[in-house]
Amino acid sequence: THPDRYAVFGHPIKHSQSPRIHALFAAQTGQDLVYTAWDVAPERFESQVREFFGSGGRGINCTVPLKELAWRIADSRSERAERARAVNTLALRDDGSVFGDNTDGIGLLRDLRDNLGLHLVNAKILILGAGGATRGILAPLLAEQPARLVIANRTVATAETLAVEFGDLGPVEGCGFATLAGHRFDLILNATAASLSGELPPLPADILAPGGSCYDLAYASEPTPFVRWGREKHAVVNADGIGMLVEQAAEAFLLWRGVRPATRPVIEALEAERRTAI
């Protein structure tokens, strides 16, 4: 028998760590599968999904810029994907239908809370950016009952719209970067794509509360501009998104295979590889 086939679709996809992560999960849990990365432009997304599932593929992860499209083409969706209106995991059901899930939010939460030991209850949280990633993380973060959650975005209207959309779940506000002066936060999450182009969102110097922490959802082989900013501000916890990436992958693996892999050895393996790469 052939191993079951899985893939990550994205555009671009060259630097994806997902094939490596899922290979480590498969080895650890003794599952027989192959997982490959595909460069899929948005125009070709739906036909490529049909082709992959039509030729024996079992599951697909979707990344930038395909998550909203994946939400649209799924035949049914998990509650958390429905809320996010974005899908990062597709699974072929036995009846041939396509199920959509979003594991980004739970992935971030596991990393912040379980791996990094952060307490979000009563915390003042600032999220930079109001794109697909922010849509995925808002509900799980609000479920932790922070004292305050502010979304700051370059395009102010997008942040304001998100705040209204998720307002039933907790105290969430939307604004632009200029309005942040004079406010302080215990946790700042960078969910903008700025790091990918070597940029830093414009932040007031004293915005991180003493003892506060920083987290960049982006990750790279080198420290991102926001990780360097966090170091300068003496953030107590100062991490990038590699742990979130592994945690969201573990949740997708659980959906597909019915087994939850241990994430810590995989995060450690990726961090060790990164240290030798620098």
In the complex, what is the shortest distance from the CB of residue 98 to ligand NDP, in angstroms, rounded to a whole number?
A: 21
Helices marked H in 126-263 — which ranges?
Answer: 132-143, 156-165, 225-232, 242-257
Active-site residue 124, yes or no? Answer: no
Rounded-to-integer distance, Cα 72 and Cα 90, Å: 11
* Choice between 100 and 241, CB closer to ligand NDP: 241
In the complex, what is the shortest distance from the CB of residue 125 to ligand NDP, in angstroms, rounded to a whole number?
A: 16
> Among residues 14, 67, 124, 233, which one is catalytic?
67
In the complex, what is the shortest distance from the CB of residue 88 to ligand NDP, in angstroms, rounded to a whole number?
A: 7
Instruction: From 251, 242, 185, select the one nearest 217 (Cα to Cα).
Output: 242
* Choice between 31 and 158, CB closer to ligand NDP: 158
* Choice between 53 and 241, CB closer to ligand NDP: 241
In contact, 126 and 132? CB cutoff 8 Å: no
* Choice between 105 and 212, CB closer to ligand NDP: 105
Angle at 207 between CA 203 and CA 213, to 5 degrees: 105
In the complex, what is the shortest distance from the CB of residue 228 to ligand NDP, in angstroms, rounded to a whole number?
A: 15
| Binding region for ligand NDP (CB under 6 A) | 64, 104, 107, 129-134, 153-155, 158, 191-197, 199, 201, 217-219, 241, 244-245, 248
Rounded-to-integer distance, Cα 175 and Cα 207, Å: 15
Rounded-to-integer distance, Cα 123 and Cα 81, Å: 25
Preceding amide of 225 cis, omega within 30: no
Contacts 24+ apart (CB under 8 A), 74-77: 74/98, 74/99, 74/100, 75/99, 76/100, 77/101
* Choice between 48 and 192, CB closer to ligand NDP: 192
For residue 198, how many other CB atoms are within 10 A of its CB? 10
In the complex, what is the shortest distance from the CB of residue 196 to ligand NDP, in angstroms, rounded to a whole number?
A: 5
In contact, 187 and 120? CB cutoff 8 Å: yes
Rounded-to-integer distance, Cα 117 and Cα 110, Å: 9
Residues noted as catalytic = 67
